[in-house]
Amino acid sequence: MINFESDYTEGCIPEILEALTRTNTEQTSGYGIDPHCQNAAKLIRKACGNRNVDVHFLVGGTQTNLTVIASALKPYQGALCADSGHINVHETGSIEATGHKCLPLPSKDGKITAAQIEKAIVDHRNDGNFEHVVEPGMVYISWPTESGTLYSRKELTEISEVCHKYHVPLFVDGARIGYGLCAKACDVTLADFAKLTDVFYIGGTKVGALFGEAVVIVDKELKKGFRFHMKQRGAMLAKGRMLGIQFEELFKEDRYFKISKNAAECAEMIAKALKKKGYKFAYTPQTNQLFPIMDNEKIAELHKEFAFHTFGTVDDTHSIVRFVTSFMTTKENTEKLVNSL
Amino acid sequence: MINFESDYTEGCIPEILEALTRTNTEQTSGYGIDPHCQNAAKLIRKACGNRNVDVHFLVGGTQTNLTVIASALKPYQGALCADSGHINVHETGSIEATGHKCLPLPSKDGKITAAQIEKAIVDHRNDGNFEHVVEPGMVYISWPTESGTLYSRKELTEISEVCHKYHVPLFVDGARIGYGLCAKACDVTLADFAKLTDVFYIGGTKVGALFGEAVVIVDKELKKGFRFHMKQRGAMLAKGRMLGIQFEELFKEDRYFKISKNAAECAEMIAKALKKKGYKFAYTPQTNQLFPIMDNEKIAELHKEFAFHTFGTVDDTHSIVRFVTSFMTTKENTEKLVNSL
Amino acid sequence: MINFESDYTEGCIPEILEALTRTNTEQTSGYGIDPHCQNAAKLIRKACGNRNVDVHFLVGGTQTNLTVIASALKPYQGALCADSGHINVHETGSIEATGHKCLPLPSKDGKITAAQIEKAIVDHRNDGNFEHVVEPGMVYISWPTESGTLYSRKELTEISEVCHKYHVPLFVDGARIGYGLCAKACDVTLADFAKLTDVFYIGGTKVGALFGEAVVIVDKELKKGFRFHMKQRGAMLAKGRMLGIQFEELFKEDRYFKISKNAAECAEMIAKALKKKGYKFAYTPQTNQLFPIMDNEKIAELHKEFAFHTFGTVDDTHSIVRFVTSFMTTKENTEKLVNSL
Amino acid sequence: MINFESDYTEGCIPEILEALTRTNTEQTSGYGIDPHCQNAAKLIRKACGNRNVDVHFLVGGTQTNLTVIASALKPYQGALCADSGHINVHETGSIEATGHKCLPLPSKDGKITAAQIEKAIVDHRNDGNFEHVVEPGMVYISWPTESGTLYSRKELTEISEVCHKYHVPLFVDGARIGYGLCAKACDVTLADFAKLTDVFYIGGTKVGALFGEAVVIVDKELKKGFRFHMKQRGAMLAKGRMLGIQFEELFKEDRYFKISKNAAECAEMIAKALKKKGYKFAYTPQTNQLFPIMDNEKIAELHKEFAFHTFGTVDDTHSIVRFVTSFMTTKENTEKLVNSL
């Protein structure tokens, strides 16, 4: 069975295992203040255009989202997000468990617009009952989105401008940011995120690491006390260097981008083949997650050789399929899928 | 510099790195339902006397404590614990962040007694204002304690009996449970914990793993919905097998106990030497954490060669010192410390 | 200025003030266990068909909603509600502040259906990722709704059956329940609510009291520890008898229904006049809240003599208006409004 | 049975009932922005020396404490308080339910000192593990204390200075502030509280009102968004003027102080008689709550005629008794108690 099911089915890039083995007997302080974490932070800062950002390493995505959002909001504030946003639908109410409401906006292609965000903020301020309504206190977007799509530089800039105009911090969930940055459709860089956002994270779990997400804090206010928040939410790894070592390896020799590029190219091969065959897509195919609409017979046939998910029914004979490529996907296996389409 | 600072300064046992490398390209489902997690759970169940327990793998101690405690308590309940208990002093209010009060009891040698627990429960029930007072809804003890001491079988049995008498679940934080089980002073087994407690965890982070804690749920009620709680608290690792693989390796061939025994023996060598030299201890020396009281000149002298913490001042010329041994401590380095005393 | 702005602009029925004055020097225990609270509970139980229900008195609606909902849900559960439900839009995230997500369903005329509820529950149970998604743990509906509409006996029975089928408690927010029960369109009684729901509340604040809501708990599980929850949320009034006395007066001699009937009749006079004039309504006019769509010129003209709110814009020249009648509304003032239409 | 059980056994001063009756048909906006609330705020500001303070009206003490404290703290901060502080022992974990730890300090006579507070703040900042420990983010004291004692001007000033030195806001729970201000032992004024604290509240429930507490916010930062916090916690009364009217009546013609003075004088009569008889006190008798130690026979004898509480056992034959006077206590009944002693 060849896997196109998700981007977290395998382990990690081999360099990480080598580094963990090489450094195993080193003795370092715990909790993320060791030389590996410091060096990884330096490499990330460099990749972010050497801006004055704080870098923290956390273990997983849900943990990162809840820690960042709870650190930024006042008790009566919530986070504006796409209705399809991960925090709104697939984190078992983790944001609400910290006391805050997700404020979903209708999304198109998994995305929300600067205009929607501005309207939500302004409507709240103009509401005669505004003290009875949760205040938008943060904007959360995923890049790439849960639907595999990308906000363009223009879209990101507009959102960033609205956020800064109203002093509402912008948080980008970059669980798959590598796959976005290396996609053909991409017109931004990591350094742009360090300019346009107030805080974002660089996903490791889905992009080559065993686990781990690097939070990059741009905004001065959000930097304060973040390690307290991490500890309180159970997000400060005792042997913190395990995260530092992984991000060191990922950001050495541009590896993060090289492995992402591979996944992007495999996805593009599949997308091209699907388009050629006339398949429609539920969402614009732009990154390593593709959502073609296929007839159920074809799906059954493909399932004999390939592992992948179906996501809901379109009509009696058609369903939405998800093909995912990753840092581990080979061109060879991709070609097999292409040939089977 | 030879390290006696903590038991999480190095990486892990080599077998774990080998297994991670060996399994790296395997493709498994995420979120802890893969064959490695299943096998690790089986090995742990066996080590627990094959009782009908649920086993879940989480990443770290604070995360485990907050997830277990929040899953067990009603909103108006709190967790009875030693005033020196980790949840009460060193987790940045993580329990309170889930809405629950720690209910500290005065401790001696880091321990609380069945009598204290019973009194707290009964006093609450008899309080004319009991609806105005947080109800004890769980008992939390650490084994070994934060002071390196052990509850005896008799003490554990008494506490267990009180808990069951009043239907208040007993939770044992076993971050260092291996070091306790292999100590000379120990008169219980892992299987005893699966009988006496309602839920406990087997620490990996401090006992040979890169990270990871195995929660063992004995009580039927506490088993319900635990994976929801894990996900909500950001405690469900995407590549869950990283935890399964580690606990597989730890529980193969009795490794967990072998490596713990080494740490216990090293600690006993140091304790013996300290006693011989006439040093007093802040807490009874029983496991891999030793708290001798030393004069500041001697401390300064030792610090030239050894890394270790001081824990508060006794008088103008004396302080409490903490020496910690671990799965990585060598007899050779231990002898160096012994000779320097 | 004649007021049709809201049903909490005046004080209370005169009998309450008389009773407060008459009982002022009585000495009673605090916190809701005094003879007045006991007697009021008895009167309410009687009005509920003498079913075995618990009755508790709280101060306000938001407080009641958050206390009831937080008492019923497990941490990973949320409350299904209409997207227009009060808890979802006008309580500043009070439910989320207790850790729980509101799970809004699209509403029509302010109402959701049994079919929608069943689908939400079943979809969650069938979701392959269901542990990553908040579990529906309660159903919250308002009766009358925030749009002034009523669920019929048939609709309530269907919702109740779905809730009981899936063991998901049904909670009815009855802030304006009196005005519903006395509306022409109503085909249920208070006793029906004590049969069909698991918990509901009888609003006092908007129906004749200075303040106060009577929570009626039907379900055995929900009864447990409710006073602890009240105290913890700041919802246990020290001089609890102030609530008991008010509900005693409201439920003596059918007063609660008599004053509600007046409001209902006034609203029906206005609705009839509006219909006669050909006005359309944003929501079906059934109770003391009417939402006609009027042209802005007419609105401006009416505003010279009458106080009322506008609720959003329909088009450039039309808006939705809200007229509210209450226990204090007079037929005389109602006629003035009717004549001005 | 003559009551010395608590200061919330009766209703309110007659002027409040008269005013409620007189204003009953007035039509005002809800939620505390009506002319009565505005006028009451003005009267309170005047009593506070016309300082630039915000005044908000809430319903009860627990509600006020949790709303104020949750509005002031960051998620990883807690409130320093006396171990006997109301929030720590008698509010069912309401502070923890908002996510924050109470940080109790050992108390003497119900009081904590500036030195203790400074040590707690400094110790935290100097702690090598400070990110693992809850940060003191507010100081909570009760004035009078739960033990009926008073901090002197000197003590309050010292605490205030420490708080301002370290930018940790000072919050005074003034549930019985009137009885403190009118005690012989008192050397401060209401205006002093508006200088020395960052936020405090003036208790109505126990000092002449049916219910209600007036929060006075001095600090600029704490003023922001307070009404959002109120609404979210269910602490914004719909018919808010009920609170405004009560505080208007209490602060007209110095009534708040006149009625407090009566209670203080009655308490002083009892204290004098007890001292004369040679009774010892558990806490220094200074305000309307007296805690003499009496032999159990005498207690039994007094209980025939008087209602009062006993608070714990001193030895086999002696207990701590609590006598409470209030705005309703008469000199006549006080003399009866004095004569029976």
Which of A8, A14, A234 is facing B60, going by the closest CB pair? Answer: A234
State whether D262 and D243 are in the same domain.
no
Q: Are B215 and B201 in contact (CB under 8 A)?
A: yes
List of chain D residues whose C-beta atoms are within 8 Å of the C-beta of residue B89 = 133
Q: pLDDT digits over D133-169, tens only?
A: 999 999 999 999 999 999 999 999 999 999 999 999 9
Which of B76, B229, B231 is facing C232, going by the closest CB pair? Answer: B76
CA pair distance C10, C233, nearest whole angstrom: 27
CA pair distance B3, A72, nearest whole angstrom: 38
Smallest CA–CA separation between D128 and chain C, in Å?
A: 32
State whether B222 and B266 are in the same domain.
no
Residue D128 has pLDDT above 90, yes or no: no
Residue B238 contacts C, CB cutoff 8 Å: no
Q: Are A293 and A279 in contact (CB under 8 A)?
A: yes
Residue C5 contacts A, CB cutoff 8 Å: no
Any chains having at least 3 CB pairs less than 8 A from chain B are: A, C, D
Q: Cβ separation of B229 and C76 shorter than 8 Å?
A: yes
Per-chain mean pLDDT for chain D: 97
State whether D336 and D234 are in the same domain.
no
Query: Quick one: tokens of A335?
Result: 């070609």
Q: Cβ separation of A131 and D76 shorter than 8 Å?
A: no
Residue D71 contacts A, CB cutoff 8 Å: yes
Smallest CA–CA separation between A298 and chain B, in Å?
A: 24
The answer to whether ipTM exceeds 0.85 is: yes
Looking at the structure of chain B, the number of domains it has is 2
List of chain D residues whose C-beta atoms are within 8 Å of the C-beta of residue A236 = 131
State whether C197 and C297 are in the same domain.
no
Which of B78, B99, B309 is facing D99, going by the closest CB pair? Answer: B99
With cut-offs at 50, 70 and 90, classify the pLDDT of residue C311: confident
Give the amino acid at A187. D
Mutation to test the D interface, candidates A228, A229, A232, A233, most D Cβ within 10 Å? A228
Mutation to test the D interface, candidates C63, C249, C333, most D Cβ within 10 Å? C63
With cut-offs at 50, 70 and 90, classify the pLDDT of residue A3: very high
Q: pLDDT digits over A51-109, tens only?
A: 999 999 999 999 999 999 999 999 999 999 999 999 999 999 999 999 999 999 999 99
State whether C271 and C314 are in the same domain.
yes
Sign, Cα dihedral of D45, D48, D52, D54: negative
List of chain C residues whose C-beta atoms are within 8 Å of the C-beta of residue B74 = 225, 228
Instruction: Kindly give the pairing relationship between strand B77-82 and strand B199-203.
Output: unpaired
Smallest CA–CA separation between D322 and chain B, in Å?
A: 14
The domain spanning residue D145 has which CATH number?
A: 3.40.640.10
**Domain hosting residue B276, numbered range:** 2-7+256-340
Smallest CA–CA separation between B264 and chain A, in Å?
A: 19
Residue B3 contacts A, CB cutoff 8 Å: yes
State whether D205 and D284 are in the same domain.
no
C-alpha distances (whole Å) from B313 to each of B111, B280, B282, B301 are 21, 14, 11, 17
State whether D239 and D319 are in the same domain.
no
Q: Cβ separation of D225 and A76 shorter than 8 Å?
A: yes
> Counting Cβ atoms within 10 Å, is residue A42 exposed (0-12), middle (13-18) or buried (19+)?
middle
Q: Cβ separation of B99 and D102 shorter than 8 Å?
A: no
List of chain C residues whose C-beta atoms are within 8 Å of the C-beta of residue D61 = 238
User: What average pLDDT does range A215-229 have in this prediction?
Assistant: 98
Give the amino acid at A169. P
Query: Quick one: tokens of C181?
Result: 């029960």
Residue D312 has pLDDT above 90, yes or no: no
Domain boundary among D210, D239, D255: D255
Any chains having at least 3 CB pairs less than 8 A from chain D are: A, B, C
Residue C89 contacts D, CB cutoff 8 Å: no
Residue A223 contacts B, CB cutoff 8 Å: no
| Closest to D141 measured CA to CA, from D151, D152, D132 | D151
State whether D224 and D107 are in the same domain.
yes
Q: Residue C129 contacts by C-beta under 8 Å, 6 or more apart in sequence? A: A90
The domain spanning residue C319 has which CATH number?
A: 3.90.1150.10
State whether C149 and C289 are in the same domain.
no
Tokens 């309110």 correspond to D12
With cut-offs at 50, 70 and 90, classify the pLDDT of residue C312: confident
Smallest CA–CA separation between A228 and chain B, in Å?
A: 7
Q: Cβ separation of D101 and B102 shorter than 8 Å?
A: yes
CA pair distance B58, B201, nearest whole angstrom: 10
Q: Cβ separation of D131 and A227 shorter than 8 Å?
A: yes
**Between residues 122 and 141 of chain C, which touch chain A (CB distance below 8 Å)?**
129, 131-134
Which of A24, A232, A328 is facing B92, going by the closest CB pair? Answer: A232
Smallest CA–CA separation between D307 and chain C, in Å?
A: 10
Q: What is the pLDDT of residue B1?
A: 86
Q: Is C326 helix (H, G, I), strand (E, B) or coil?
A: coil
List of chain A residues whose C-beta atoms are within 8 Å of the C-beta of residue C309 = 128
Give the amino acid at D153. R
Q: What is the pLDDT of residue D1?
A: 86
Query: Quick one: tokens of C210?
Result: 């200075």
Q: Are A192 and A144 in contact (CB under 8 A)?
A: no
Domain boundary among A255, A286, A307: A255
CB pairs C-D closer than 8 Å? 149
Q: pLDDT digits over A269-292, tens only?
A: 999 999 999 999 999 999 999 999
Smallest CA–CA separation between C64 and chain A, in Å?
A: 15
Residue D322 contacts B, CB cutoff 8 Å: no
Total length of chain B? 341
Nearest chain C residue to D26, by CA? C10
Q: pLDDT digits over D57-98, tens only?
A: 999 999 999 999 999 999 999 999 999 999 999 999 999 999
Give the helix/strand (H/E) hosting C85.
Answer: none
User: What average pLDDT does range A196-219 have in this prediction?
Assistant: 98
Give the amino acid at C185. A
Give the helix/strand (H/E) hosting C315.
Answer: strand C309-315
Q: pLDDT digits over C129-174, tens only?
A: 899 999 999 999 999 999 999 999 999 999 999 999 999 999 999 9
Smallest CA–CA separation between A32 and chain D, in Å?
A: 12
Residue C11 contacts B, CB cutoff 8 Å: no
Smallest CA–CA separation between C176 and chain A, in Å?
A: 19
List of chain D residues whose C-beta atoms are within 8 Å of the C-beta of residue A127 = none
Instruction: Kindly give the pairing relationship between strand C54-58 and strand C213-217.
Output: antiparallel
Query: Quick one: tokens of C3?
Result: 């007021």
Smallest CA–CA separation between C132 and chain A, in Å?
A: 5
Smallest CA–CA separation between C43 and chain B, in Å?
A: 25
Query: Quick one: tokens of D188?
Result: 């401060």
Any chains having at least 3 CB pairs less than 8 A from chain C are: A, B, D
What phi, psi does D110 have (nearest 5°)? 80, 5
Q: Cβ separation of A238 and B61 shorter than 8 Å?
A: yes
Query: Quick one: tokens of B230?
Result: 């894990």
State whether D141 and D234 are in the same domain.
yes
Q: Are C283 and C110 in contact (CB under 8 A)?
A: yes
With cut-offs at 50, 70 and 90, classify the pLDDT of residue C287: very high
Q: What is the pLDDT of residue A1?
A: 86
Per-chain mean pLDDT for chain A: 97
The 3-state secondary structure of A263-303, one letter per residue: HHHHHHHHHHHHHHCCCEECCCCCCCEECEEEEHHHHHHHH
Q: Are A88 and A78 in contact (CB under 8 A)?
A: no
Q: Cβ separation of A134 and C92 shorter than 8 Å?
A: yes
Residue D339 contacts C, CB cutoff 8 Å: no
Q: Cβ separation of D232 and A31 shorter than 8 Å?
A: no
CB pairs A-C closer than 8 Å? 55
Residue C83 contacts A, CB cutoff 8 Å: no
Give the helix/strand (H/E) hosting C71.
Answer: helix C61-72
State whether D238 and D260 are in the same domain.
no
**Between residues 49 and 68 of chain D, which touch chain C (CB distance below 8 Å)?**
59-67
DSSP letters, A185-251, are T----HHHHHHH-SEEEEE-TTTTSSS-EEEEE-SHHHHTTHHHHHHHTT-S-TTTHHHHHHHHHHH
- 0.80 surpassed by pTM: yes
Nearest chain B residue to D79, by CA? B93
List of chain D residues whose C-beta atoms are within 8 Å of the C-beta of residue A71 = 75
C-alpha distances (whole Å) from A188 to each of A196, B60, C44 are 10, 36, 65
State whether C297 and C162 are in the same domain.
no
Which of C5, C30, C235 is facing D8, going by the closest CB pair? Answer: C30
pLDDT along chain B (341 residues), means of 10: 94 98 96 98 97 97 98 98 98 98 98 98 93 98 98 98 98 98 98 98 98 98 98 98 98 97 97 97 98 97 96 93 97 96 89
Q: By percentage, how much of chain A surpasses pLDDT 90?
A: 97
Domain boundary among C230, C255, C280: C255
Residue C128 has pLDDT above 90, yes or no: no
Residue C93 contacts B, CB cutoff 8 Å: no
Smallest CA–CA separation between A47 and chain C, in Å?
A: 33
